[in-house]
Amino acid sequence: MCRWIVYVGEQSLMLEDLLIRPDHSIVKQVSNRFLPGLYYGLEEDDKEELEKQATWINVHGFGVGWYTDTLTEFDPSVRGMQPAQFRTIAPISTDLAFKQLCAHTASSCTLAHIRDASFPPVVEVNNHPFIYGKYAFMHNGSVDSFRVIRFDVMKRIFDLQTKVQKYQYKSSVQDSNYIFGILGNTDTEHLATLYFAHLDIINAEQPYSGADSTDALLLALILTIADIHTIQFKHKVGPFTPGPGSERVGNALNLCITDGGVQMVVSRWRDAKEGYPRSLYLSLTAGEKLNRKYFPVLPAPTDSEDVDNTDVKIDSVRELVARYEPTRQGRHVIVGSEPCTHYVQDWGLFDQNQCVTVNKARKLRIINLAKFFQHGREHEFKQYHFTEVLDEIAKKERSTISPKIGVPEHTIDLPESKSDAFETELDLDAPKK
């Protein structure tokens, strides 16, 4: 069970303050778990499954990405912030290079990931985050039966690559060669490559002002999951596994995609008929406590907080957003597999199959991602102008597996979500304290 964290904000934050200094930093998450509220209200079978996942140790590599505008000072062809990267398979708690980097680097967008490998090898090229031009991508979970479907995933990537090269679209990979850019063997890197091939086509062919928007990022995610479903349906694996005992088989996709260090899409996803996705938490206020400018010493949580009780109820993301008040850290969002501080009131727990986007205007939107994969929800595509984009893509020469218009071809019998039919938007551009 991998762990990851991302920070996006209008103010920079020291990497050390985000990744090393906190009470429950991602460095500590290699072997320690802090999952407040995760088991609240769940059935025993669901608790047992999540508890088993929580025993896994993350010792198979570490990666950190941070956005910087340094290149713009020396290369006039580069615009905006670009992601830099550090990856290692050394034990992260004792890696001196990592500690030095964090002690002298700050960024307004930072991503970090510790890996629990699904299968070997343990090498740096398999570590997250994966970088594609101005984008970064990381994942906690798995694509089910990846060994079975990998060849068909590669074929689908090649189909999209052929289209990008034929029409000379702007690409997020060198020479528009997505296949050649895959350096490792992980399901995540293949998933990410498929995702960015879709995104490049969407950005090139969109007929409305959605290019480089969170709507484009979201549609690419929907099409990527739809492709995985199409291939798994062909092989009768993943959520399409027949027979008894298949209720908990499916894909686990806790994903993070950042765009230019400003926009972000994150999801907590599982498409099995039963069970819950792996943990994911969000904070809009924890950055103030983490920033040493405001708190040279991290404040301790109050005695009344039962921070070690996984059955305690904490706010949902929706409830957290409803009571948002700005802090001295300004507009910022932190999302992590686990909270990095013990101040539980600063954090909200994602609901299953929930997605959060942050756009260039620092507006946060909460979306029920499952609705795009259910019968009778065609209107959701119209609401986001997705239908127009897909119609425009369909005008071009189609690939072997063509993009689907409206609801993806293979809908999923997903469990009911508490956030079903709920969507809200929060403008973080409120007056500061």
Smallest Cα–Cα separation from 81: which of 139, 124, 31, 133?
133
- The residue out of 364, 388, 403 marking a domain boundary is 364
**Whether residue 20 is found in the same domain as residue 37:** yes
Question: Within a domain: residue 308?
Answer: yes
**Whether residue 210 is found in the same domain as residue 323:** no
**Whether residue 227 is found in the same domain as residue 305:** no
**Whether residue 298 is found in the same domain as residue 335:** yes
Q: In a structure prediction context, what are the per-residue pLDDT tens digits for the chain, which is 433 residues long?
A: 789 999 999 999 999 999 999 999 999 998 888 999 998 888 899 888 888 877 777 667 899 999 999 999 999 888 899 999 999 888 888 889 999 999 999 999 999 999 876 767 888 888 999 999 999 999 999 999 999 999 999 999 999 999 999 999 999 999 999 999 999 999 999 999 999 999 999 999 888 778 899 999 999 999 999 999 999 999 999 999 999 889 999 999 999 999 999 999 999 999 998 999 999 999 999 999 999 999 998 887 765 455 667 888 899 999 999 999 999 999 999 999 999 999 989 999 999 999 999 999 989 999 999 989 887 777 888 888 888 888 888 877 655 555 454 557 777 767 655 544 457 777 776 554 4
d(CA 171, CA 169) in angstroms, rounded, equals: 6
- What distance, in Å, lies between the first and last C-alpha atoms of the chain? 38
Question: Within a domain: residue 421?
Answer: no
d(CA 172, CA 202) in angstroms, rounded, equals: 12
pLDDT at site 254: 97
**Whether residue 95 is found in the same domain as residue 227:** no
**Whether residue 5 is found in the same domain as residue 19:** yes
Q: What is the pTM of this model?
A: 0.93
Identify the CATH number of the domain in which residue 120 sits.
3.60.20.10
Per the CB < 8 A criterion, the answer to whether 111 and 138 are in contact is yes
**Whether residue 133 is found in the same domain as residue 256:** yes
- The residue out of 364, 392, 420 marking a domain boundary is 364
User: Which residue reads 């995540």 in tokens?
Assistant: 188
* Domain range enclosing 176: 145-182+189-248+375-411
**Whether residue 333 is found in the same domain as residue 402:** no
Smallest Cα–Cα separation from 167: which of 395, 341, 374?
395
Sort strands 363-368 and 424-427 into parallel, antiparallel or unpaired: antiparallel
Strand stretches in 27-172, DSSP E: 62-68, 82-88, 106-114, 130-132, 135-142
Radius of gyration of the chain (CA): 21
d(CA 357, CA 263) in angstroms, rounded, equals: 7
Query: CA angle, corner 194, sides to 206 and 256, nearest 5?
Result: 85
What residues contact 356, with CB distance under 8 A and at least 6 apart? 264, 265, 266, 267, 282, 317, 333, 335, 350, 364, 365, 366, 367
d(CA 182, CA 197) in angstroms, rounded, equals: 12
pLDDT at site 245: 85
- The residue out of 342, 364, 386 marking a domain boundary is 364
**Whether residue 2 is found in the same domain as residue 110:** yes
Compute how many other C-beta atoms are within 10 angstroms of the C-beta atom of residue 385.
18
Structure tokens at 55: 């025993």
pLDDT at site 55: 75
Question: Within a domain: residue 138?
Answer: yes
Question: Within a domain: residue 56?
Answer: yes
Question: Within a domain: residue 416?
Answer: no
Per the CB < 8 A criterion, the answer to whether 83 and 66 are in contact is yes
**Whether residue 136 is found in the same domain as residue 16:** yes
Question: Within a domain: residue 430?
Answer: no
Strand stretches in 260-368, DSSP E: 263-268, 281-283, 332-336, 348-349, 354-358, 363-368
Query: CA angle, corner 175, sides to 169 and 179, nearest 5?
Result: 100
**Whether residue 130 is found in the same domain as residue 12:** yes
Question: Structural domain tally of the chain?
Answer: 2
pLDDT at site 304: 46
Question: Within a domain: residue 369?
Answer: no
Question: Within a domain: residue 425?
Answer: no
**Whether residue 57 is found in the same domain as residue 152:** no
